[in-house]
Chain A
Amino acid sequence: MPSLGLTARLIAVLVAAVLFAGAAAIGLWTQDHTQRREAALRAQVHLVLQDLASALETRLAIGLPLAQLPDVDRLLDAARLQLPDARALTVLDDRGHAIFSTDPLEVGDPLLDAASVGDQAGGGRIGERDALFWRPAFSDDGAIAGAALLRLPAETSNEGVTTFALALTVRMAPALAVLCALAALLGYGLARHVGRPLTGAATALAELERHPTAPPAPPDRAEALSGLPLTEFAAALRVRHQRLAQVEDELGRCDEMA
Chain B
Amino acid sequence: MKNTNRQKPPRIGRTAQVLLAGVGMLLTAATLLTVSLLGFAETRATLTEVRLAGALAAARLVQADLDRALGYGVPLDALPGVNDYLKNLRDRLPDLRFFAVIGAGGQRLHQSGIEAARLDELLTRRPPSPPASGMPAAGPPIRFDAGPFALVGVPLRDGGGTVLAAVEPGEITAALTEDMWAVWPFWVGCLLLPLAWTAAVARGAVTEPLARLRIAMEAAGAGTFDRLLVRRARDPIGQCLLNFNAAAAGLHARRRAAIAQTEDVFHAVFDPEVAAAAAAARDAALADLGAGLAQAPARFRDPRASDADLFAVTLAAAGILGLAQTLETANAAAAVGAAIETLSTGPAGVIAILTTAAPALTLLPAALAALLAGLGLGWRIGWRRTLTIPAAALLLAAGPGVAHLPSGNLDSMLLTLLPGAISAGAVGLAWSLAVRQRKDSGAAGGLRGGLWVMLAGSLAGAAFAWGLSDAPPIQGLGVAVLAALALAAAPTAPMRPE
Contact = CB atoms under 8 A, between A and B. Distances in A.
Contact residues on A (Cβ < 8 Å of other chain), bracket: 35 or more
Interface stretch (B107-115, B189-197, B360-368, B376-384): B189-197
Given A1-B492, A209-B246, A254-B274, A240 B231 contact: no
Contacts of B239: 198-199, 202, 206
A11 to B, nearest CB: 10
Contact of B268 (A21, A51, A255): A255
Contact of A257 (B240, B271, B468): B271
**What 10 A-B pairs have minimum CB-CB distances, sorted nearest first?**
A227-B10, A29-B39, A205-B243, A17-B194, A247-B285, A25-B35, A202-B239, A232-B221, A5-B235, A198-B236
B28 A35 contact: no
B427 to A, nearest CB: 20
Contacts of A44: 53-54, 57, 93
Given A7-B235, A226-B240, 8 more contacts: A6-B236, A34-B471, A43-B54, A205-B243, A205-B246, A244-B251, A254-B275, A255-B278
A233 B221 contact: yes
Contact of A3 (B53, B213, B232): B232
A33 B474 CA distance: 12
A25 B39 contact: yes
A153 interface: no
Chain B facing A: main interface SS:
helix
Interface in A210-239: 212, 224-230, 232-233, 235-237
Contacts of B222: 236
Contacts of A30: 474
A82 B55 CA distance: 10
B197 A31 contact: no
A36 B43 contact: yes
Contacts of B214: 227-229
Contacts of B468: 27-28, 31
28 contacts: A3-B232, A5-B235, A6-B235, A6-B236, A16-B197, A16-B485, A17-B28, A20-B28, A24-B32, A25-B36, A27-B468, A44-B57, A44-B93, A47-B92, A164-B46, A175-B35, A176-B31, A179-B30, A194-B19, A202-B242, A227-B10, A228-B10, A241-B251, A247-B281, A251-B258, A251-B278, A254-B275, A258-B265
A190 B194 CA distance: 17
Interface in B133-177: 172, 175-176
A202 B50 contact: no
B431 to A, nearest CB: 22
Contacts of A27: 468, 474, 477-478
A235 B221 contact: yes
A62 interface: no
A208 B485 CA distance: 42
A243 B12 contact: no
Contacts of A13: 20, 24, 194, 197-198, 201
Interface residues of B, number: 116
Interface string B219-261: 0111100000001111111111011101100110011001001
A240 B251 contact: yes
Given A208-B247, A230-B217, A32 B278 contact: no
B210 to A, nearest CB: 6
Contacts of B234: 5
Contacts of A33: 39, 42-43, 46-47
Residue of B92, B94, B183, B474 with most partner-chain A CB within 10 A: B474
Interface stretch (B58-66, B331-339, B435-443, B451-459): B58-66
Nearest to B278: A254
Contacts of B231: 3
Nearest to A229: B217
Interface in B38-56: 38-39, 42-43, 46-47, 50-51, 53-54
Interface in B11-35: 11-13, 15-16, 19-20, 23-24, 27-28, 30-32, 34-35
Contact of A198 (B12, B269, B492): B12
Interface string A50-86: 1100000000000000000000000000100111000
A210 to B, nearest CB: 9
A32 B38 contact: no
B92 A168 contact: no
Contacts of A32: 39, 43, 176, 179-180
A258 B273 CA distance: 10
B87 interface: no
B255 A244 contact: yes
Nearest to B470: A35
A251 B27 contact: no
A40 B50 contact: yes
B49 to A, nearest CB: 10
B186 interface: yes
A182 to B, nearest CB: 7
Given A229-B218, A258-B271, A199 B236 contact: yes
B27 A17 contact: yes
Contact of A29 (B20, B27, B36, B285): B36
B461 interface: no
A215 B462 CA distance: 59
B205 interface: yes
B294 interface: no
A191 B46 CA distance: 43
Given A29-B35, A183-B27, A194 B278 contact: no
B498 interface: no
A9 B281 contact: no
Nearest to B35: A25
A171 interface: yes
A9 B12 contact: no
Which of B31, B61, B194, B477 has the most A CB atoms < 10 Å from its CB? Answer: B31
A83 to B, nearest CB: 7
A163 to B, nearest CB: 8
Contacts of B194: 13, 16-17, 20-21
Contacts of A198: 12, 210, 236-237, 239-240
B270 interface: yes
Given A13-B24, A254-B278, A228 B210 contact: yes
Nearest to A48: B57
A205 B16 contact: no
A14 interface: yes
A12 B251 CA distance: 38
A179 B34 contact: yes
A26 B32 CA distance: 9
Contact of A25 (B24, B31, B206): B31
A105 interface: no
Contact of A31 (B60, B64, B250, B474): B474
Given A26-B35, A31-B474, A244 B261 contact: no
